[in-house]
Structure formats: structure tokens, C-alpha cells
Amino acid sequence: MLSQFFKALATCFKIEDLRKKILFTLGIVAVYRLGCFIPTPGINAKALAELFNRLTESTGGGNVFSIMNMFSGGSLEKLTVFSLGVMPYISSSIIMQLLTAVIPALEKLSKEGRAGYQKINQYTRYGTVVLALIQSFFIALWLETPQAMGQGALALVSNPGWGFRLTTVLALTTGTLIIMWLGERIQEQGIGNGMSLIITAGILSSAPAAVTQLIMLLSPQAAAGAQLQPLTVLIMCGLFVAVVIATTLISQAQRRIPVQYARRVVNSRVYGGQNSFIPLKVDTAGIIAIIFAQSIILFPATIASFIPAQGISHFAAYLARGQWPYYALYGGLIVFFCYFYTAIVFNPTDVGENMKKHGGFVPGIRPGKDTADYLDFVLTRITLVGALYICIVAVMPDAIMASARVPYLVASFFGGTGILITVGVMLDTMKQIEAHLQMHNYEGFMQSGHLRGRR
């Protein structure tokens, strides 16, 4: 199987149009990585590095800033122009998707084909600008008052004031718009999903640092009580392989509901009579459920950092990472949003009615309402399996940190949103490359069967 994989990989560069797409995509990713090293004006780099070191030591690296820093490819730690990454765009896309399901005008617009898609995409861009402006403004305020995070009087800003705030807002917002533009160029002229590839590039950029920390923990020079045993590292490597395999299986798992269409005779022509199926995905929500859950559960800590009220601080400490209420609420929110997002993107009633109009039916199930109830029943059961797995993967970095006593940077590669995004994006990209190979009469990455994308 590995020989087939490498054979297909070598074939990719023999096809001219596919080779150009791959090289163009790699070039855009390289430009993005270069932009991750352009600093924002007016920042004391040494003081900022000291702040992140203190946060890492106090929380083990599992704080909101470390998570945001991982998704931005290390840009937030250096506060470069790409510090916000693609998160404003992702948030705007999710909001627009939810609004499309609840606002009739947007729902009608989404059904108008390419013109409607372009209009909704334009609204998404506007939302990205608004979210980037808001987030960058609050980051500027936080940089001016680091003592709100309990980190003392670090002088992070050389000349605080409205001049610095406007400069930071302009730099970070412009950086986000450049990233959005780069992602769209990959989407149009490259291979794979542009935004997802940029996120994956940021996540994988921290892999060398994670490997370096892991090697340091294996060396005899490691701090007392922090040194890892080779057996522990072997177990962690085995766990990593198991998580990747399980995530791949869950990402592609689906329940196929058989559908038959009745034969119809119209003007001496026979229509229908064929068999088909409805693919119901086990993991419809994926990382979106984790993003929503993280946003809500980290909200009290974010408010407490800006409003030094005793009640809010106590409540935020009660829901702090490492406390059992945090994991109970976190898991419950993930399960809720898995069902919530699945209900938004898949409506069994509409599917049942459309099947009835076109003469389709599930064998043994009456068309219409009975079919909708059956689809809802099946979807409810398989979504629970996907939601429970997402919960396990989401809390796995914390379990690795607690049991193996490793930094969050190392533990983040054993679960959480990082592993879900990376595996899913790799599957989607390989699926698109495989489609190009088969279009030119070449074999794909697998000797039997074909890869399925997440959508």
C-alpha cells in the first residue's frame, strides 16, 4: 500500500496542470509563513516573550493564548501582522452559515446558485473585517494593560495610547485580509481548501518546537521530576498513531440509507427505477463544535481579565482548565453543538419531502413524515457516536499533560482541534489530488476503493 501511495505521489508531478497547482499552493503557504515573522510596530518583543513564558509556566501552556498562538502558527507570541490568523474569517463563515439557516432571505439567496454563493461570500468578507477590527482593538487594550492578567507591570508597549491602538488595529486587520486573500487564491488556482491549508500550515509549524521539547525532556539535563522515560515516549507515539487512525475513520464514517425511485412513464419514456443512498455522516460538526464550546467556556476567563470583579474572578476560577466543572461543561457543550450544527445543516423533513416529490422512498418506510422520522432517528444515534469521540479528542491534550507531565505544545499533537483539522485537511487535499490523477487515467493513493472528503 505504501508503494502505491509513493507511486501516486510521484505521478502528481508528471501531470503539468496538477504540478502547477501543487507548486502554486506551496508558494502561497511559503508567503504566509514569511508574513508570520513581520512584527507589529510599537511592541517590546522581549517583554512580550517574557509574558508568554510566565503564562506558560503558570498554566502549563494550556491557556487560551497558547491555543490561539498554535492556530496562528506562532504569530501571536511574536505579535506579527498575522497574529489573528484566519479565525475571524472562520468565525464569520460559521455565523453566516447559521444565519442562512434561520433567515429566509439568506436561505433563498443560498439557493440561487453561483450568484447567491458569491453574494454570501461577500457578506462573509464584511463580517471578517468587523470581527478583525473588534479582536485587534481588544488585543491592543490587553497589550497596554498586561497587569489585568496578573502578570505585573510589564512594559509591552513603547508608546501606549490611541496612536498605538489604531496602528495595531490597522496592522492586524490588514494581516487578516491578506491571509483571506491568500486562501482564496489557493481555492481558485491551487489544490485543496485554501483557508484550511493555511490553518494546517500554522499548526504544523510548531511541530519542530514540540519535537525539540520532547527530546529535551528525554535528555538527562531535564529538570528533576520532568524527565520522560523512553517507554512513556513509545506509548505516546503509539497513542498518536491510534488517534490519527481513529480520527481518519470517524471523519470518513457514514451511514448509507438506501433509496429507491419508482418507475414513471412519461411520453413513452421510462424515468426512475434506479437505486441510490443518502450518506449520513457520523461526524457532521467536527471542529466547529469544539470551536463553539471553547468560545463559550473561555468567555468567563476573558471577561475576568478585563473586569477585575471578585464574583467574576471566582466564577472564572471555578471553570478554569484543570477543574472537573470545566471538563464536564466542555464535554456537554461539545455534544450540544454537535447536535445543534447537525440540525442546522441537515433537515430530515426537507429531505423526506424532496424524496416524496421525486418518487423516492426508503425500503420498508412510508414516504413523507415517516421517512423524515426515520432519518432523524438514525442521525440522532450516529451523531452521538461522533460527539463522544470529539469529546475524547478535545480533552486528550489535558490528559496527556496531566499524566505524562509534558508542555501543552507537545500534548496538543495528541488531540484537540489541531489533530482534527490536520487529518481532515489532509484527507480533503488527497481526495482532490486523487480526482486529478483519475481524470488523467492514473491510479489514486489506494489500490482498492477511493478516498472520501469530509463534505
Q: What is the DSSP string of 24-81?
A: HHHHHHHHHHHHTT-BPTTB-HHHHHHHHHHHHHHHTT-SHHHHHHHHTTTHHHHTBT
Least confident of 82-91, 213-222, 255-264, 430-439: 213-222
Region 428-451: what's the mean pLDDT? 71
**121 pLDDT above the threshold of 70:** yes
- Work out the percent of the chain whose per-residue pLDDT is above 70: 80
Q: Give residue 23's domain range.
A: 14-205
> Do residues 179 and 75 touch, judged by C-beta distance below 8 A?
no
pLDDT score recorded for residue 27: 92
In a domain, 65, yes or no: yes
In a domain, 415, yes or no: no
Q: Would you give the DSSP letter of residue 321?
A: T
> Do residues 422 and 200 touch, judged by C-beta distance below 8 A?
yes
pLDDT score recorded for residue 174: 94
DSSP for 70-118?
HHTTTHHHHTBTTTTTTHHHHHHHHHHHHHHHH-HHHHHHHTSTHHHHH
* Cβ neighbours of residue 424 closer than 8 Å, sequence gap 6 or more: 196, 247, 251, 286, 287, 454
**71 pLDDT above the threshold of 80:** no
Total domains in the chain come to: 1
DSSP for 147-176?
GGGT--S---BSS-SHHHHHHHHHHHHHHH
> Do residues 432 and 452 touch, judged by C-beta distance below 8 A?
no
In a domain, 30, yes or no: yes
**208 pLDDT above the threshold of 90:** no
Q: Are strands 360-361 and 275-281 parallel, antiparallel or unpaired?
A: unpaired
Region 43-55: what's the mean pLDDT? 75
pLDDT score recorded for residue 169: 92
Task: Report which residue type is found at 348.
Answer: P
**88 pLDDT above the threshold of 80:** yes
Global pTM reads 0.79
Q: 345 exposed, middle or buried (CB, 10 Å; 0-12, 13-18, 19+)?
A: middle
In a domain, 178, yes or no: yes
Cell 471578517 -> residue: 128
In a domain, 47, yes or no: yes
Q: Give the range with max mean pLDDT: 99-113, 122-136, 391-405, 438-452.
A: 122-136
Cell of 426: 489532509
Residue-averaged pLDDT of the chain: 79
Length of the chain: 455
- Residue 452's pLDDT band, with cuts at 50, 70 and 90, is low
pLDDT score recorded for residue 4: 66
In a domain, 61, yes or no: yes
Region 121-134: what's the mean pLDDT? 91
* Residue 56: CATH number of its domain: 1.10.3370.10
The per-residue pLDDT for range 320-362, each reduced to its tens digit, is 676 778 888 888 888 888 888 888 888 888 888 888 877 778 8
**177 pLDDT above the threshold of 90:** yes
Distance CA 82, CA 74 (A): 9
The per-residue pLDDT for range 223-245, each reduced to its tens digit, is 656 677 788 888 888 888 888 88
In a domain, 160, yes or no: yes
- Residue 1's pLDDT band, with cuts at 50, 70 and 90, is low
**82 pLDDT above the threshold of 60:** yes
> Do residues 107 and 101 touch, judged by C-beta distance below 8 A?
yes
The per-residue pLDDT for range 278-327, each reduced to its tens digit, is 888 888 887 778 777 877 777 676 666 656 667 766 776 676 676 778 88
In a domain, 31, yes or no: yes
pLDDT score recorded for residue 182: 92
pLDDT score recorded for residue 116: 82
Region 411-439: what's the mean pLDDT? 80
C-alpha distance from residue 88 to each of 127, 146, 177, 295, 401 (Å): 8, 23, 10, 13, 29
Q: Would you give the DSSP letter of residue 303?
A: H
**409 pLDDT above the threshold of 90:** no
